[in-house]
Amino acid sequence: MMNCCYHKQSLKYEPKKIDVEPTLSTEQFLEEGLKCGTCKEVFTLKEGQLSGYCGGCEQFLHCGIAGSCIGPNCTIVNNKQIYRLTWCIACIPKTVIINLEDIGPGKYCLCQECLDDDRTPNAYKRKI
């Protein structure tokens, strides 16, 4: 029930736009080593090890993914598709249950900004 209301509400939000400015060719980009924000190891996109990009520290992640933020500030609508920003464990507040239990790729979390946002349903803000 909570979800249903939340989705209706969320349609009113001004969708954020994603600016993609390719500065490297795809081939160069795939070959380039990128450091995982959590373990600091270097991977190339070609290896398929990097499965996220943190919306907080803006680093690529191969591990330490907390999940996608469920809040309105991290929800991006592009071509009628809904994307949610991924966050790493280091960047999210450790005070709410959603950020401590059941975390990982494909799970939901809540960033500080969305935790402070009135539009985020209280159900997600339950503290430990």
Interface positions with Zn ion (CB under 5 A): 36, 38-39, 54, 56-57, 62-63, 69, 71, 73-74, 88, 91, 111, 114
The nearest distance, CB 75 to Zn ion, in angstroms, is 8
Comparing CB distances to Zn ion, the nearer of 27 and 121 is 121
Strands across the sheet with 65-69, in order? 86-88, 65-69, 108-109
Comparing CB distances to Zn ion, the nearer of 29 and 51 is 51
Q: Compute the distance between CA of residue 73 and CA of residue 4 in angstroms, rounded to an integer.
A: 18
Query: What are 92-95's contacts with CB under 8 Å, separation 24+?
Result: 92/56, 92/66, 95/127, 95/128
The nearest distance, CB 86 to Zn ion, in angstroms, is 9
The nearest distance, CB 25 to Zn ion, in angstroms, is 26
Comparing CB distances to Zn ion, the nearer of 74 and 98 is 74
Comparing CB distances to Zn ion, the nearer of 22 and 52 is 52
CA distances in angstroms from 43 to 3, 22, 64, 79, listed in the order given: 37, 19, 15, 30
The nearest distance, CB 115 to Zn ion, in angstroms, is 8
For 31, the 3-state DSSP assignment is helix
